[in-house]
């Protein structure tokens, strides 16, 4: 895989995982 593809996959991964974890943490704080 090229560096560009890895970077794109990494961006997509974080765009999906980070909001999910943030929502989970926010829900636990309520």
Say yes or no to pLDDT of 2 above 70: yes
Mean pLDDT, the chain, integer: 89
Residue 16 pLDDT: 94
* Closest to 27 in 3D by CA, of 9, 6, 14, 19: 19
Considering the entire predicted model, what is its pTM?
A: 0.49
- Alpha carbon of 18 to those of 1, 2, 4, 8, 25: distances in Å? 24, 24, 21, 15, 10
User: What pLDDT band is residue 1 in, cutting at 50, 70 and 90?
Assistant: low
Give 20-30 pLDDT, tens digit per residue: 999 988 887 77
Quick one: what percent of the chain has pLDDT higher than 90?
63
């Amino acid at each position: 895989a090229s560096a560009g593809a890895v970077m794109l996959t990494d961006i997509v991964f974080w765009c999906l995982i980070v909001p999910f974890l943030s929502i989970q943490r926010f829900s636990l704080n309520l």
